Amino acid sequence: MSTSRDLSTLGIAITGGARGIGLATATRLARAGARVVIGDRDVEVAARATADLDVEVLPLDVADPASWRSFAESAGRVDVLVNNAGIMPVGPVVEEPDEVTRAILDVNLLGVITGTKTIAPGMVRRGRGHIVNVASGVGRVAVPNGATYAASKFGVVGFTEATRGELAPYGVDVSMVLPTVVQTELAAGVSQARFVKPVTADDVAAAIEAVILSPRPETWVPRWTQGMVRSTQLLPRRVQEAISRLFHADAILTGADAAARADYEQRIRP
């Protein structure tokens, strides 16, 4: 595919577009002239949030293959798929109910896999396309109290790396975007790592737009954290852990404010 694209020529599907990063991305891309289709379980919320935009909203449960097939039939040509939908219940893994574990993996990992399996064949037939998977910094560096979430995002990272190699010969790009803590409902009550500037949903949306315009395999938000993580991972484990304590990265989820997260946790837990 070309490394310089015109958004107005692209049909872009975004999962989890009713809120947060997905909504910010849909807003940015629609205003840039792209044909945007949002897939979300909360159709009414998404419709209200995008009422002033030229955006199509379709029902989609990313954990359900049948829902994906129905979405694909209604969405029209998808040139770019942004796998953004995700949930983040936090807490000790030994206290995590089985149904919550399954929900995290179903949405965060299987949703990406199923979406790719559903949408990528059309891209392969056309000889062009782009899949952008929204992972997370914890998909490279795990933190306590988010074990299953980290496992799901590590899975997205591995899946992205593998499918990039599989789909490249057919002209299909596969990219991943790894934000640090983002100021959205998903991160309510979660502290920011020390020395890391707060990241907004629009910061991530801007990174996604840049990746669509000029595909690259891996983009961190903020970008400088990628180099820091890569450098740190070359060091002995005890030094890595000392750096984690310095940045308070080891406490961003263990210190989460339960009261501030109560509404979100109630909404996304089965």
Q: Which residues are catalytic?
A: 149
Query: Which whole-number Å values give the CA distances from 208 to 90, 101, 145, 214, in the listed order?
Result: 26, 28, 27, 10
Contact 209, 21 (CB under 8 A): no
Three-state secondary structure call for residue 7: helix
Say which residues have a Cβ less than 8 Å from residue 244's Cβ, sequence separation at least 6: 141, 250
> Both tokens of residue 76?
């029209």
Cα–Cα distance between 196 and 209 in angstroms, integer? 22
**Quick one: which of 133, 143, 135 has its CA closest to 191?**
143
Contact 12, 29 (CB under 8 A): yes
> Both tokens of residue 203?
């910061």
What residues are paired with 134 via a beta bridge? 177
> Both tokens of residue 263?
């509404």
